[in-house]
Amino acid sequence: MPRRPVPSDPSVGQRIRARRELRNWSIRHAASRAGISHTSWSRIEHGTQRTDRYMIVDLAAALECSVVELTGQPYTPADRQLESARIGAERVWRAMMNHPLTEPARQDPTPVDALLQESTLVRDLYARCDYAGALHRLVSLVPGLHGQKDQRATLKVMVPVYGVAMGCLLNVGYPAQALLAVDHCEDAAQRLEEPVALAVAAANRARVLAYSGAYGPARSAAGRASDDLEHHLDAPAALDLLGFLHLARAHHSSGVRDAGTAESHLAEAARIAQRTGETTSWDMAWGPRNVALWQMAHQLDTGRPGEAVETAARVRVDGLPAVRQVYFYMDMARGHVDLGHDRDAVRWLLTAERTGQQHTRSSTSARETARALLRRGVGGSELRGLCERMGVAD
């Protein structure tokens, strides 16, 4: 039987089907490799069952491909800002390739004060989900960070700046390039020899690994960083980082289907957040609200949308950076889809777009949520308009 053509905007389910048919495997055979029922696999291919971020890893492993081959990232840009972000991602990657930390000092380096000012601007652009703007400025900031005579002062700037580069690249769908940013972040942290900076770099590496589906290595990296940090809790912001690492380890534990350990890490993160309160160290927006947002995501990912919506009702996200708010709004949308509250789901998706346009339009979660609503026959110009802006077709 001839294979069906893949549409110009395939869904995750359509990509899974195309990959399976490329191997000439039956649904039963592919499902057995993934450890799920053939009926679940069939529903996923037809878009009537949503895949969570953990299941997609199992499906990719079964089909012997990468996660991003099934999610389709990076997506073809649907607007000028995303096109600019895509161009910026390529240029930043080349800048990082051309400027290792071993580069010798320049005769006329950029003044450290100017680098600090520019790094503050880049971090602010990232916090506002303006990834195109941040990447554009990183193209010139990255060369300026290297070859400085005052190495220590510059290294302190590098760690958060390369964290921002990693976040921008990851959020627009470039995990391989994001890993290079992590390498630079780790190089800078190791030269600083500061425990908290090393923990930040480790958390960044774990994030990229988890994004790519490598939950086991991500958990190991975060675990080692936590163990090391336990010996330096008197350092500024060390407790904040330790709490954040517990959140990351909860996510990684869920990824390897260790639910009990995930719950333990979430509980420990909550205890630490009660001690620290709300903080802004290392651009984490750490505190009880952040813990609640991760708890909500965990409840969604473990099939408890009702509990997730109840958790969300107790959280005030105003005042949090847009990059944190947009995750919350997208999670609210998928929670309401799971509960059958379609109109509420549309409203939350639109709120996510208003808060972080580039983030929402680049997000697999948001795109698949919008696609699910289309398939349910949810009408209205608002959803259709959002799908057009995303470049999403039913």
Q: In this structure, what DSSP letter does residue 78 have? A: S
Tell me the CA end-to-end span of the chain in Å, nearest whole number.
Answer: 24
Q: How far, rounded to the nearest angstrom, does the alpha carbon of residue 98 sit from its chain's CA centroid?
A: 26
Please compute, for residue 303, the number of CA atoms within 13 A of its CA located in the half-sphere on the CB side. 6
On whether the 12-71 domain is CATH 3.40.50.740, my answer is: no
- pTM metric for this prediction: 0.87
Locus of tokens 């942290």:
189
Locus of tokens 């802004």:
280
Residue 79, phi then psi, degrees to nearest 5: -155, 175
User: pLDDT 10s per residue in the chain (394 long)?
Assistant: 444 544 456 788 888 898 898 888 999 998 888 888 888 898 888 888 877 777 888 888 888 888 878 877 777 767 788 889 999 999 999 999 999 887 776 656 778 888 999 999 999 999 999 999 999 999 999 998 887 766 888 899 999 999 999 999 999 999 999 999 999 999 999 999 999 999 999 999 999 999 999 999 999 999 999 999 999 999 999 999 999 999 999 999 999 999 999 999 999 999 999 999 999 999 999 999 999 999 999 999 999 999 999 999 999 999 999 999 999 999 999 999 999 999 999 999 999 999 999 999 999 899 999 988 988 888 789 999 998 888 887 6
For the CA atoms of 351, 356, 358, 363, the dihedral, rounded to the nearest 10 degrees, stands at: -70
- Single-letter amino acid, residue 233: L
Residue 289, phi then psi, degrees to nearest 5: -65, -40
